[in-house]
Structure 1
């Protein structure tokens, strides 16, 4: 390929990524220095404070998928009240619970509210406000096999949310097999599938799941007098702690906080109590449109990742067949690193390390596109190189005998035939990208899988939303493979 053509393609790819960063669903215009300046002048010039949360924990925080997809809950109302009194705007960044502390430490968010309990271990890494609510743990189990005390779970199989204080609550259980998952809804599904005997869940959350699943029951665990309750977490040394504490005290004394608690702890919609079906798609009423919107994000992400992977993979393949040794070494090492490390690890490194290393708050969708595109390029470089080497060597020799320049030969003769030869492999890579795109949900990208998880948390039922998302993925793959077959037949006719 000509150098100018490569530059144009790379420029187009860069523009698409910039657009993703500016207009992507996870974009945030977080002001640099908001954390350090907030206590002195709070939020000058209308700048916003970014709150990190894991919206799968109703009634504290969950996505209101039926009414616009906003994140709502007790924690959200308290945060809005505090930031409003401080004269700040509030922006909410959604992610998995076990990524919240890391987001604070890398200053991706200014504070965290997500039903987070104060523990000595967490105090070593973040600062906390005064507690705003004290919850109790419960043992959620099958109604046919209830548990009255934690001691009865010794030697059994117990589930807890990863990174939660419930892990500490069961630390003393003898011979218990502990299952740690990212979300409460996943734990409940494990319980219903009889993979665990019980799940340790906070009381208000347990009530919602019990109302939605008539085959489940729960028992209160005696409270720990040393427990400090739920509090707001901040980066170490944050100047926001004092003003937030002052506003929390004001909400307490005015009775406004209690009104919020009363409002949210009386709301547990869930599924209908009388429904005993194992599969009930009626619970998706009002959620279908919300889930389908994630398809656009999934397709956009797949398209951009595939484009970046193909362009960069083509360049790497040319490096590998080049006579310039440094280019060969670079391409070989690059391929070895990206093929030898997990894709999820690469995603986390780009998303969490970029702010720490380059002081740039990279949007989640942009980080995901880079991680998947760079990873895909490593695999495609070998595929494209194989396609190039499969082209009859006589054509190269004929082109060289005719005096055709190398770049022109590669662009007009060799690469078109190579792409035709490897078309099935390219389609397989696109299909893999489409399915693997579900991984981006772990950093909060509102793709198809993330939205299915949100509905799963809102309805307190897992299978229906996941099965619906699976059907959409399957349809997308069928459409993609059908288009590829049409293109392949058309290319054959043109031979």
Structure 2
């Protein structure tokens, strides 16, 4: 299911009299249409997933975006994805603008347009309280973590002898520090404060502001008509004091939590279990769609391979070699991002996932089904032909049912693989089971409990599937 959250356009109260001016300035750019905002909801307090209260994306950036949409008379939808995929989503037209604590850099300016800055932040060093690091020089020769695609990558580029670890999400960096896999991480100040409030065993050090102050801005496609309208709205928010009100709301003092020293504590999942369980529906729906497509298209490909028509055999062989010879993740990302660019169709994330996995599964199943058909005794085909039974009737009523009995275990294995591989679809923003567990991990900075719960659910799903398959196999044997 596409992680798309429809939010009210009546979000925050309107401040001052400049809102009407901003709305008038943006009327031509918006005209009451729906705007889609792309963000990476793992960067509190700018954006995060409220897993305990329905899973909506919340944060400073979200509140500012709601206010701007309200001023411009637009409806706002928010879609979450990995930070390093935001620019690609913008360029392919999947989102209208990106707001995700994104700094303005010369490199990014080559690909997108930016609004005026709406917030400035500073880099900080996050490390363990019992072995803190206070200067960049102390990090030379150490293991340092940064978020992939962030400006912090540039900040650590000159560290001599340092081993730089780049991860997609800030919570993963915090977990790496706590697990002693890295010595420190460079993150933005507000995010660091939030992380330390939840993990009192960590400490932060603000880096000097010289050349470190980052301007966060809203990113748009090149030449977007939304840019001046958003700038006017941001200016109106500054003039009325509305933006300061939002900043104070999210950057207020956070109560420090006690360190949870328990090795395993499933009570940390209180309030999160329903959120995780809702991912089961998405996982099962995805598996059903991709398995059905894979079986149908795989059967057609297998018949192509057995055909006497050479072009059909060439096509099926080439198709199989391409889909088995390239990474599944590449196929998924290519279908999701390239379809809007090439065909001008905004393909839903779940549809893109089902299509990618179904087409990939068909390549493997075509060989399995072909083997099952060829395993049927040749004498049955000859007898059917001698009796004048049409080829199509022979395949549907005689050959194929016997082939399915032979390959049933392989078909079940393919379905099991699809259930487990469904975790890959999180890279395009689908909130399936494992992605929801990762949101919970980001919220409480504990990895074991939510991940083991997700693992148990996956195991139960696979156990149910294999049990049903055994029942079906026994029934088929009794019908022989």
Q: Give the structure 2 partner of residue 248 of structure 1.
A: 234
- Describe the superposition over 1:77-121 as per-residue Cα deviations: whole angstroms up to 9, x where unpaired: 000111111111111111110010011111111111000011111
Q: Give the unaligned 5+ runs of structure 2.
A: 7-24
Is the counterpart of residue 91 in structure 1 residue 77 in structure 2? yes
1:137 aligns with one of 118, 123, 128: 123
CA distance in 2, matches of 1:132, 1:278: 41
Is the counterpart of residue 80 in structure 1 residue 66 in structure 2? yes
Q: CA deviation at 1:291?
A: 0.6
- When normalised by structure 1's length, the TM-score is 0.90
Q: CA deviation at 1:325?
A: 0.3
1:260 aligns with one of 231, 246, 261: 246
Q: Give the structure 2 partner of residue 169 of structure 1.
A: 155
Q: Give the structure 2 partner of residue 395 of structure 1.
A: 380
- When normalised by structure 2's length, the TM-score is 0.93
CA contact (8 A) 2:122 2:214 kept: no
Q: Give the structure 2 partner of residue 6 of structure 1.
A: none
Is the counterpart of residue 341 in structure 1 residue 326 in structure 2? yes
- Describe the superposition over 1:259-290 as per-residue Cα deviations: whole angstroms up to 9, x where unpaired: 111111126478x4142223222221111101
Is the counterpart of residue 412 in structure 1 residue 397 in structure 2? yes
Q: Give the structure 2 partner of residue 41 of structure 1.
A: 28
How many aligned residue pairs are there?
Answer: 462
CA contact (8 A) 1:42 1:88 kept: no
Q: Give the structure 2 partner of residue 465 of structure 1.
A: 450
Q: Give the unaligned 5+ runs of structure 1.
A: 1-23, 30-37
CA distance in 1, matches of 2:188, 2:245: 20
Q: Give the structure 2 partner of residue 181 of structure 1.
A: 167
CA distance in 2, matches of 1:291, 1:353: 30
Q: Secondary structure at the match of 2:473?
A: helix
CA distance in 2, matches of 1:344, 1:269: 41
CA contact (8 A) 2:26 2:230 kept: no
Moved more, 297-306 or 215-224: 215-224
Q: Give the structure 2 partner of residue 61 of structure 1.
A: 47
CA distance in 2, matches of 1:278, 1:170: 33
1:142-153 matches, cutoff 5 A: 142-153=128-139
CA distance in 1, matches of 2:254, 2:273: 20
The 4+ residue runs of structure 1 with deviation greater than 6 A are: none
Q: Give the structure 2 partner of residue 123 of structure 1.
A: 109
CA contact (8 A) 2:4 2:80 kept: no
CA contact (8 A) 1:301 1:369 kept: yes
CA distance in 1, matches of 2:208, 2:403: 68
CA distance in 1, matches of 2:197, 2:474: 55
CA distance in 2, matches of 1:395, 1:447: 45
Moved more, 337-346 or 477-486: 477-486
CA distance in 1, matches of 2:321, 2:475: 36
CA contact (8 A) 2:39 2:80 kept: yes
- Describe the superposition over 1:403-437 as per-residue Cα deviations: whole angstroms up to 9, x where unpaired: 11111111011111111001110011000000000
Is the counterpart of residue 360 in structure 1 residue 308 in structure 2? no
CA distance in 1, matches of 2:213, 2:264: 39
CA distance in 2, matches of 1:424, 1:250: 64
Q: Secondary structure at the match of 1:377?
A: helix
Q: Secondary structure at the match of 2:216?
A: coil
Q: Secondary structure at the match of 2:52?
A: coil
CA contact (8 A) 1:185 1:461 kept: no
CA distance in 1, matches of 2:213, 2:366: 54
CA distance in 2, matches of 1:332, 1:155: 51
- Describe the superposition over 1:443-474 as per-residue Cα deviations: whole angstroms up to 9, x where unpaired: 00111112112212222332221121111111
